[in-house]
Amino acid sequence: MTTTSSTALDPQRVQRRTVFLLGSAQLLSGIGNGATLSIGSLLAVDLSGSEAWAGSITTVLTLAAAVTALPLARLAEARGRRVGLVTGLLAAMMGALLVIGSVTAQAFPLLLLGAAFLGLGTAANLQARFAAVDLAEPERRGRSLSTVVWAITIGAVAGPNLIQPGAAVGAALGLPPIAGPFVFSAAGLLLAAVVLFAGLRPDPLLLSRRLASDALKGGDLGNPPIRGTIRSGLRAVRSSPQALLALAAVVAAHGVMVAVMSMTPLHLQQLVGGTHQGHHGGTSDSTDALVIIGVTISLHIAGMFALSPLWGWLTDKAGRLQTIAMGHGLLLLAVFVAGFGQHEPVLVTAGLILLGLGWSAATIAGSTLLAESVAPDQRVTVQGVSDTLMGAAGAVGGATSGLLLAWIGYQGLNIASSVIAAAVLALAAVMGARRTTG
């Protein structure tokens, strides 16, 4: 911590600088996740020798992010956001290097270990959005958070497009071509860590505590931060109806998004193949399917991140509850468009775009509401619990969606997902009505 008195600092100037630094780090580190998601399944099949392991990298990465979210939150609670974020990013950089080593050694277990370490980078990226609101004024919290979320867009789009340049870099370094993109990943993660380690001073979380202490004029914040456990975090959430809604909003949105998104490529592959059967050869069918799948997932990712500033603005201007309701309303519309339009690739794609938009609105508004609905001594722990449960919901959604697809089909999967979104929408409506009548 610097020795500069908190009274000598302009908190809003520090806040603007913090958001810029967090956004820059998100851009750099997002390249690592983009490369992992784009070729992780290919690496898994290549090194394991079986298509049954195709989803293992995404599963391990998601679970690792969920498991490490709370420990990183504890570290941030004790040492500040800078230490927590840099630790996660450096661990992810190590993961990228392990992936490179696994390709060189043709070692599948080493690949899984690398994916687990990369999951810490995902956990750090999630934590960064909360760091953006530590010093934000109440009327700008949504926009600050959404700016950091939006920065992921560039890295997420750039990552998959670095496959060919990465192969050239890998060849120049004497590495297998498929390992090349992870050289960019490791470099991006290292640069992100350096940016935050050097620039995130004063630490936004520690400064916010000092400002609160000065405001009390007694130098005592009251209760010290609670020890970060899932039980203590959930206890804090249960004590606040708004925090409970916020947590339900982000967890449910993530579960619905992952469940539908993860099965859409398989559905489109079957749909396009069936549509073209008898008109083209198998190679043409496969090419058509890959093009449609690629466009659909790209547009879905754009929906998740590209309009984040809009949802941040609406969160601040229209209100947290209203934007949560918009988000889950969009999720409902998404699953009905995709589900009942299951035989038309255009409608499925439209549904996936709406799915990304709904996730973005619910996550930004829900995260903003969560950050301000619990006491300062509970905030970081509750945020860690939120990220843990989001990761768990994504893992459960991804694991159960295949079973639901086989059991009740793509339309049934979407209808089942609609129940979750509708429940949160109803909860937001009830809470909004109570606030109006109260």
318: CATH: 1.20.1250.20
The phi and psi torsions of 280 (rounded to 5 degrees) equal -135, 170
Last-in-domain residue among 216, 247, 270? 216
Residue 225 within any structural domain of the chain: no
Residue 171 pLDDT grade (very low, low, confident, very high; cuts 50, 70, 90): confident
Domain shared by 163 and 275, yes or no: no
Domain shared by 210 and 297, yes or no: no
**pLDDT at residue 37, as a whole number:** 60
Domain shared by 55 and 200, yes or no: yes
CA distances from 95 to 66, 75, 244, 413 (A): 16, 20, 34, 34
Last-in-domain residue among 164, 188, 216? 216
Residue 397 within any structural domain of the chain: yes
Domain shared by 114 and 162, yes or no: yes
Domain shared by 186 and 246, yes or no: no
Task: Kindly report, residue by residue over 261-313, the tens digit of the pLDDT.
Answer: 888 888 888 888 654 444 444 455 566 776 787 788 778 888 998 899 999 99
Domain shared by 234 and 212, yes or no: no
Residue 90 pLDDT > 80, yes or no? yes
Count of Cβ atoms closer than 10 Å to residue 295 Cβ: 14
Percent of the chain with pLDDT over 90: 54
Look up the domain containing 133 and give its range: 7-216
Domain shared by 211 and 240, yes or no: no
Mean pLDDT of 344-364: 96
Residue 23 within any structural domain of the chain: yes
Domain shared by 271 and 146, yes or no: no
**pLDDT at residue 51, as a whole number:** 67
The phi and psi torsions of 291 (rounded to 5 degrees) equal -65, -45
Domain shared by 370 and 432, yes or no: yes
Can you read off the two tokens belonging to residue 8? 């000598």
**pLDDT at residue 428, as a whole number:** 94
Last-in-domain residue among 187, 216, 245? 216
Domain shared by 236 and 188, yes or no: no
The 3 state secondary structure assigned to the chain is CCCCCHHHCCHHHHHHHHHHHHHHHHHHHHHHHHHHHHHHHHHHHHHHCCHHHCCHHHHHHHHHHHHHHHHHHHHHHHHCHHHHHHHHHHHHHHHHHHHHHHHHHCCHHHHHHHHHHHHHHHHHHHHHHHHCCCCCCHHHHHHHHHHHHHHHHHHHHHCHHHHHHHHHHHHHCCCCHHHCHHHHHHHHHHHHHHHHHHHCCCCHHHHHHHHHHHHHCCCCCCCCCCCCCHHHHHHHHHCCHHHHHHHHHHHHHHHHHHHHHHHHHHHHHHHHHHHHECCECHHHHHHHHHHHHHHHHHHHHHHHHCCHHHHHHHHHHCCHHHHHHHHHHHHHHHHHHHHHCCCCHHHHHHHHHHHHHHHHHHHHHHHHHHHHCCCHHHHHHHHHHHHHHHHHHHHHHHHHHHHHHHHHHHHHHHHHHHHHHHHHHHHHHHHHHHHHHC
**pLDDT at residue 156, as a whole number:** 65
- Structural domains of the chain, count: 2
How many Cα neighbours within 13 Å face the side chain of 126? 29
Residue 222 within any structural domain of the chain: no
CA distances from 241 to 315, 353, 421 (A): 18, 31, 18
CA quadruple 376, 87, 13, 313: dihedral, nearest 10: -70
Residue identified by tokens 């309701």 is 325
What is the separation of C-alpha 373 from the centre of its chain, rounded to a whole number of angstroms? 21
Mean pLDDT of 61-70: 90
Domain shared by 25 and 80, yes or no: yes
Residue 224 within any structural domain of the chain: no
Residue 298 within any structural domain of the chain: yes
For residues 101 and 127, give the distance between their C-alpha atoms in angstroms, rounded to a whole number: 28
Task: Kindly report, residue by residue over 5-61, the tens digit of the pLDDT.
Answer: 444 678 899 999 999 999 999 988 877 566 566 677 678 878 988 866 766 777 788
Residue 157 pLDDT > 80, yes or no? no
Residue 213 pLDDT grade (very low, low, confident, very high; cuts 50, 70, 90): confident
Residue 2 pLDDT grade (very low, low, confident, very high; cuts 50, 70, 90): very low
Residue 223 within any structural domain of the chain: no
Task: Kindly report, residue by residue over 326-343, the tens digit of the pLDDT.
Answer: 999 999 999 999 999 999
In this predicted structure, which of 39-48, 90-99, 152-161, 348-357 has the lowest mean pLDDT? 152-161
Domain shared by 64 and 197, yes or no: yes
Residue 221 within any structural domain of the chain: no
Residue 220 pLDDT > 70, yes or no? no
